[in-house]
């Protein structure tokens, strides 16, 4: 499906990112596997070993891959990553932004460093590689070359549906969802699509959540296996997905969901300036008539309203 395509995957050394790298390679793509090798909270010494291990796996079954250890939240590091793909394989076709860390804390207990670090890695770590990839695609398009570019970002149900205890992570992931839709509109002129996924699977980022819930996989199909997410991302990265852009997909096991974004809802218009006192009834009536926000499972409590 992706024969001849060149793919960059950030956070590709472990978990879901590793599964992306392996599946893209199985489908014929040349892959740049980026991973800093730090703990899930971003701590520890940087090392290329996780990325190198994935590269070794890919080469063992005859695929083409190289490792990268740059920090994608740094503009220089992100540029190095994108142009490593160009230097090694001649161009870039697909960018999968998957790198992330966790520093979970309630708002009242969260430090400014815990806020800034998570926002930096997720949000700037999505922007920076995209910035350089977009420049590459723009330049190819302006020079008359055919571009079938694909940007695939990673958001989360925490950002879309508001999980308590993850204000930093959720805010970053909500920002990535909006960033994806903006990118889809800006990059369309260059032959690039932009979509996002919010995966549900066991990984380093989520293993303690599943552990606390006492979850044990049943025999047979494991709906929380991270490899289940890869086919959707690989399809989005192929040239078959050219008609799909600006969308956010939830993937869990064999289930694929298209998320519905914010939209204008219940409205009242006085065609003049309101007095504050008048709003005592107006705003409660508006809220009462509007559907409830989705819960953390992504479902509205009263979907018929």
Query: How does strand 192-199 pair with strand 149-154?
Result: parallel
Does the annotation mark 173 as catalytic? yes
- H helices of the chain, where? 15-26, 49-60, 75-89, 112-119, 125-142, 157-161, 167-187, 207-212, 230-237, 279-289
Which is the catalytic residue, given 52, 156, 157, 241? Answer: 156
Give 298's contacts (C-beta < 8 A, 6+ positions apart).
157, 160, 161, 250, 257, 259
What is the Cα–Cα distance from 175 to 138, expressed in whole angstroms?
A: 24
Our answer to whether residue 156 is catalytic in this structure is yes
For residue 274 the two structure tokens come to 């309101």
Catalytic residue among 173, 198, 238, 241: 173
Catalytic residue among 169, 184, 198, 241: 169
Q: In angstroms, what CA-CA distances link 185 with 181, 203, 227?
A: 7, 32, 30
So which residues are the catalytic ones?
Answer: 156, 169, 173
């Amino acid at each position: 499906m992706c024969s001849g395509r060149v793919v960059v995957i950030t956070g590709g050394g472990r978990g879901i990112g590793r599964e992306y790298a392996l599946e893209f390679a199985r489908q014929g793509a040349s892959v740049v596997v980026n991973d800093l090798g730090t703990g899930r909270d971003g701590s520890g010494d940087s090392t290329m070993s996780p990325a190198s291990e994935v590269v070794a796996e890919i080469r063992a079954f005859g695929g083409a891959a190289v490792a990268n250890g740059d920090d994608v939240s740094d503009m220089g590091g992100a540029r190095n990553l994108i142009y490593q793909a160009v230097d090694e394989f001649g161009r870039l076709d697909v960018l999968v932004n998957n790198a992330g860390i966790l520093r979970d804390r309630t708002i009242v207990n969260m430090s400014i460093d815990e806020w800034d670090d998570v926002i930096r890695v997720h949000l700037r770590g999505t922007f920076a590689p995209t910035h350089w990839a977009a420049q590459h695609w723009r330049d190819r398009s302006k020079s008359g070359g055919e571009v079938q570019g694909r940007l695939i970002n990673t958001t989360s149900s925490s950002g879309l549906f508001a999980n308590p205890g993850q204000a930093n992570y959720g805010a970053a992931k909500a920002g990535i969802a909006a960033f994806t839709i903006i990118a889809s509109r800006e990059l369309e002129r260059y032959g690039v699509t932009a979509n996002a996924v919010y995966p549900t699977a066991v990984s380093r980022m989520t293993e303690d959540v599943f552990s606390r819930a006492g979850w044990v996989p049943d025999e047979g199909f494991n709906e929380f296996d991270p490899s289940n997410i890869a086919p959707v991302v690989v399809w989005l990265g192929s040239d078959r997905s050219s008609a799909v852009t600006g969308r956010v997909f939830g993937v869990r096991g064999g289930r694929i969901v298209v998320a519905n974004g914010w939209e204008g809802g219940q409205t009242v218009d006085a065609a003049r300036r309101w007095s504050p006192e008048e709003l005592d009834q107006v705003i409660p009536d508006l809220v009462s008539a509007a559907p409830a926000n989705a819960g953390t499972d992504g479902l509205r409590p009263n979907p018929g309203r």
